[in-house]
Chain A
Amino acid sequence: MEIRYKNYKYEKQNINFCLNENTIYGITGTKYKEFLSIFNIINKYTNVTINKNKLNNKNIFFYQNKITNIKKINELDIKVEDYLEKIIIDYDLQIKNINKKIEDSLTIVGINKDKKELYIKDLSTSERNLLRVSVSLLFNPEIIILEEPYFSLDIKNIKRLNILFNRLTDQYNKTIILGSSDSNELYKYTKKMIFISNNNIVKIGDTKEVYKNVKFLKDNAFDIPESVMFTYNANNKKNIKLDYLQDIRDTIKDIYKHI
């Protein structure tokens, strides 16, 4: 599925906004905690009409059977398996083997399938966050939107989630949109970035390339990844040419070459 908007004018720029499949996008706003209403953006800039279909759960948005945005799952007094089964039934997801689907959707995000018998309120914060992704996958959407996807996750779970995201995009042609205020995470884990200011798109591009443009980021008060800032300062201060790298081990090797 492709969401496309052509020739949007922002100041003197023409911006073509197009979300392609097979890609992990990051979306971020200014560092002054501007609320990211990703759906407002998609509504404003695309020709896909989005009608919010709020059934029983105001935290689940499922649009035109193609896009999911699962917000925070609170400490609910319902068992995990019952919650997931209710979603399958309420949204008429046409799943033959519900029990297997529930177990698979938990296992794939790293939640032990035995935890399906626990109450959601007894899950840890990180498990409830991972459960969001499980719920998303029940819908088999073409586009998955997650706001603050790495919220409360440790590095092992972040890596596991990223392996999953890459598999979903590479093997299953899904589009993943991650909204976050953490530039370090977006820099490391996304392929393309969308920058928003006052609910307007001000920049779209390859993650590595757009984050090199430190002046743009500073001028627009966007958060800058620590590794980018280090490279930028080193290059400017010492007139060297370190590369902008996403993995710290590559940064170390690059520093070694330039000493």
Chain B
Amino acid sequence: MINNYIELNKINYKDILNNFSISFAKNKFYTLTGANSCGKSTLLRLISNEIELIDDINLNDKLLSDYDKIDYKKKVTLLDERNIDFIEETISNEIKLILLKNNNYSKEYLKSTLLKYNLYDNRNKKINNLSLEEKIYLMFIKKILSNYEVILIDDIDNYCSETIMNRIINLINLNKNNKLFIMTIKNINYSLESDKLIVINKKGIVLEGNPKDVLNKDNILNKNGIELPFMYDLSIKLRDYNLIDEIILDTDRMIDELWK
């Protein structure tokens, strides 16, 4: 039995979320999508307590409103393009600061951390000179190193390249032990490495489950404003025409299968 770590029960927020219920378990990576203005960002801002809602949001069986705000902020964090701020001038010093806060700083450990997260080559680069996606990536690493229990990530696939997104997703899956990650996405491709894909509208969950199973429901996804990635869409349609037997995402394999 999965214990829900976060639960929202029939919450209402302005005209954005109506009688909305959803729950999330720890040790999992969720991707969340839906039509424009369906409340994805609002949902994450409610969970992070950036927007305050008194009733019916539970974290670890305790009402959000019963938590001390500072304690809550140590457990739950939100990463989006608005919440990007750094203290130090360089990447290296910024990471060093986190390690000092965690009482596990040493020169060797700093170096190994920078190497581990692909930051070593640019370690002396000034943070002000980083591109937005580089800043988002650095913020993400800071969040991983800061031992949050819940990391919420909103809308970053609009700003980050495929390379950076794949790196982030890989790190999420390596670090989800005893944590909970929820990421809103526009590009459905990024759901494929998550544990669960959830499609929402204002009233609640439209579809949820293993991403590959959810992506098979292309009609429902289209009705909810979600476009399937090209190879997925092509696969589903070719399968419906009995030209292939299964979903194939690799172009070369698809070509070989079609023209055997």
Taking beta carbons and an 8 Å cutoff, which residues of A are in contact with B? 33, 75, 124-127, 151-157, 184, 226-227, 229-230, 233-234, 237-238, 240, 248-249, 251-252, 255-256, 258-259
Contact of A157 among B155, B225, B251 (CB under 8 A): B225
Given contacts A152-B36, A155-B225, A230-B251, contact A248 B230 (CB under 8 A): yes
CA distance A246 to B133 in the complex (A): 30
Known: A156-B225, A248-B233. A237 touches B255 (CB 8 A): yes
Q: Does the CB pair A240–B259 fall under 8 Å?
A: yes
Are the CB atoms of A152 and B186 closer together than 8 Å? yes
The answer to whether B37 touches A75, judged by C-beta atoms less than 8 angstroms apart, is no
Contacts of B186 in A (CB 8 A): 152, 154
**Are A124's CB and B252's CB within 8 A?**
no
CA distance A125 to B231 in the complex (A): 27
Given contacts A157-B225, A252-B241, 15 further A-B contacts (CB under 8 A): A33-B131, A33-B133, A126-B37, A152-B36, A152-B158, A153-B36, A154-B35, A154-B36, A154-B226, A156-B36, A229-B251, A230-B230, A230-B251, A230-B255, A248-B233
Nearest 3 CB-CB pairings of A with B: A154-B225, A126-B36, A226-B230
Report A-chain residues with C-beta under 8 Å of the C-beta of B231: 226, 230
Q: Given A151-B158, A155-B227, do A127 and B37 touch, yes or no (CB 8 Å)?
A: yes
Docked CA distance A33–B259 (Å): 36
A237 and B233 alpha carbons, distance in the complex (Å): 22
Separation of A153 and B34 alpha carbons in the complex (Å): 11
Residues of A within 8 A of B165 (CB): none
CB-based nearest A residue for B81: A125
Which of A151, A234, A256 counts the most B-chain CB atoms under 10 A from its CB?
A234
The minimal Cβ–Cβ distance linking B230 to chain A, given in whole angstroms, is: 4
A157 to B38, CA, bound (A): 13
Contact, CB under 8 Å: A259 / B41:
no
Q: Which residues of B contact A152 (CB under 8 A)?
A: 36, 155, 158, 186
Does B174 interact with chain A (Cβ within 8 Å)?
no
The reply to whether B237 and A248 contact each other, CB–CB distance below 8 Å, is yes
| B222 contacts A by Cβ under 8 Å | yes
Q: Are A255 and B258 in contact (CB under 8 A)?
A: yes
Bound Cα distance from A255 to B242, whole angstroms: 12
Give A184 to B241 CA distance when docked, in angstroms: 24
**CB within 8 Å of A: which residues of B?**
35-37, 41, 82, 131, 133, 155, 158, 161, 186, 222, 225-227, 229-231, 233-234, 237-238, 241, 243, 251-252, 254-255, 258-259
Q: Which residues on the B side are within 8 Å of A154 (C-beta)?
A: 35-36, 186, 225-227
A-side interface mostly: helix
Looking across the interface, which residue of chain B has its beta carbon closest to that of A126? B36
Complex interface: chain A residues within 8 A of B237 (CB): 248-249, 252
A13 vs chain B, min Cβ distance (A):
30
CA distance in complex: A141, B176 (Å) = 51
Residues on B with beta carbons closer than 8 Å to the beta carbon of A153:
36
Contacting A259 at CB < 8 Å: which of B36, B227, B243, B251? B243
Q: Report 26 cross-chain contacts, Cβ distance below 8 Å, ordered by A residue.
A: A75-B82, A124-B37, A125-B155, A125-B158, A152-B158, A152-B186, A153-B36, A154-B35, A154-B36, A154-B186, A154-B225, A155-B222, A156-B36, A226-B231, A229-B251, A230-B230, A230-B231, A230-B234, A233-B252, A237-B255, A238-B259, A248-B234, A252-B241, A258-B259, A259-B243, A259-B259
CA distance A75 to B41 in the complex (A): 13
Chain B minimum-CB-distance residue to A148: B158
| A106→B235 CA distance, assembly (Å) | 38
In contact, A233 and B225 (Cβ under 8 angstroms): no
Choice from A33, A124, A227, A234 contacting B36 with Cβ under 8 Å? A124
Query: Which residue of chain A has its CB nearest to the CB of B221?
Result: A155
Complex Cα–Cα for A12 and B5 (A)? 64
CB of B158, distance to nearest CB on chain A (Å): 5
Instruction: Determine whether the beta carbon of B37 is less than 8 Å from that of A256.
Output: no
Closest CB in chain B relative to A76 CB, distance in Å: 13
